[in-house]
Amino acid sequence: MKLALVGDIGGTNARFALWRDDQLEAVQVLATADFPGPEQAIIAYLQAQGLPLGAIGSVCLACAGPVSGDLFRFTNNHWRIDRAAFCAALQTDELLMINDFSAMALGMTRLAEHERMPVCAGQAQAERPVLVIGAGTGLGVGTLLERPDGRWLVLPGEGGHVDLPIGSPREAELWQILYRQLGHVRAEDVLSGNGLLVLYRAMCELDGQPLQHATPAAITAAGLAGDPVAAEVLEQFSVWLGRVAGNNVLTLGARGGVYIVGGVVPRFAERFLASGFAKSFSDKGCMSHYLDGVPVWLVTAEYPGLTGAGVALQQRAEAG
């Protein structure tokens, strides 16, 4: 029986693994910038595992961007996929492409308790949508529903591209600076790795502070070390993430809980847990009570998107 391969491809990194016996094996992370396309990256991965072309029977790739049809162009990198050409190049029988946050959402169904940290206490309501939201190269949003037969349905979307909400006079002032720079201000423009830098520059301009940090990593490190401007950037980032997540819960009726994923927030997890996220998450005026009791977790699992891609393959096989 041929092996299955799963991939989780974002703007910066592509993660690949074998999927066997309902588990991940041989995870490897490759930089998308190092390869002209996914076929070449997967061939390099197979060579590293000592596997020839044709050894893989089915592939599931979690792709950053809206997925439909046989052609796909990635939102945040230069790669593209043509289904027929891909299968021919890798000598594989099947390619399943799903949205990266659909895979991330499916990955939540396999989390161990130690792979999540409570942010807001509450009780998840059965048969209600679950929200998965996370900042990385971009801002991803996915919705998870449990079917009556125990399988999972994911509703893909592009919720990271909603307008950035304004909840205070200071946020309105920051928004005006962002608007002058960007024109249209999306949530992703602030709630992403590069968004930390965008927010930092806007805050320095608003407060007349000199620019001292040039990368998101430097801003995060400075904030954790006590730099007051960088620390406020991390706080405002957390508050804005709370506003966007709360808006999504209202829109979706996602009282099944919220999972915060992605590579940005775990880098300042303790500060995030002590931030104004919880307050801004539930600060919805006359509908604030609707957010009471909705549990929120910060996910610390290493490869939930890869696991979700494996779950997608498994569900497809079980459906026949």
Residues 146 and 94 in one domain: no
CATH number, residue 78: 3.30.420.40
DSSP letter string over 240-268? Answer: HHHHHHHHHHHHHT-TT-EEEESSSGGGG
Would the annotation count 12 as a binding residue?
A: yes
Residue 99's closest CA among 312, 318, 319?
312
Range of the domain at 71: 3-105+303-319
Residue 148: per-residue pLDDT: 86
Residue 157: per-residue pLDDT: 78
183-186: long-range contacts at Cβ-Cβ below 8 A with a sequence spacing of 24 or more?
186/160, 186/161, 186/162
CATH number, residue 267: 3.40.367.20
DSSP state at residue 124: P
Find where tokens 């593209």 sit. Answer: 80
3-state DSSP assignment of residue 28: strand
Residues 129 and 209 in one domain: yes
Which are the contacts of 103, defined by CB distance < 8 A and separation ≥ 6? 8, 60, 62, 305, 306, 308, 309, 312
DSSP state at residue 186: B
Question: What is d(CA 308, CA 109) in angstroms, rounded to the nearest whole number?
Answer: 8
The sign of the torsion formed by the CA atoms of 300, 11, 103, 99 equals positive
Residues 127 and 46 in one domain: no
Residues 182 and 92 in one domain: no
Would the annotation count 11 as a binding residue?
A: yes
Would the annotation count 9 as a binding residue?
A: yes
Residue 64: per-residue pLDDT: 77
DSSP state at residue 307: H
Question: What is d(CA 158, CA 210) in angstroms, rounded to the nearest whole number?
Answer: 35
Find where tokens 């960007």 sit. Answer: 182
Number of domains in the chain: 2
What tokens were used for 189? 């423009």
Residues 256 and 122 in one domain: yes
Residues 261 and 144 in one domain: yes
Which are the contacts of 302, defined by CB distance < 8 A and separation ≥ 6? none
C-alpha dist (Å) from residue 139 to 172, 263, 290: 21, 10, 24
Which are the contacts of 185, defined by CB distance < 8 A and separation ≥ 6? 163, 164, 175, 178, 179
Per-residue pLDDT tens over the stretch 252-307: 999 999 999 999 999 999 999 999 999 999 999 999 999 999 999 999 999 999 99
Residues 49 and 134 in one domain: no
Residues 66 and 188 in one domain: no
Residue 285: per-residue pLDDT: 94
- Which stretches of the chain score pLDDT less than 50? none
**Helix 193-207 vs helix 228-252: angle between axes, to the nearest 10 degrees?**
120
Amino acid at the residue 224:
L
Residues 88 and 116 in one domain: no
Residue 320: per-residue pLDDT: 65
Question: What is d(CA 212, CA 189) in angstroms, rounded to the nearest whole number?
Answer: 21
| Helix, strand and coil in the chain, % to nearest 5 | 45, 25, 30
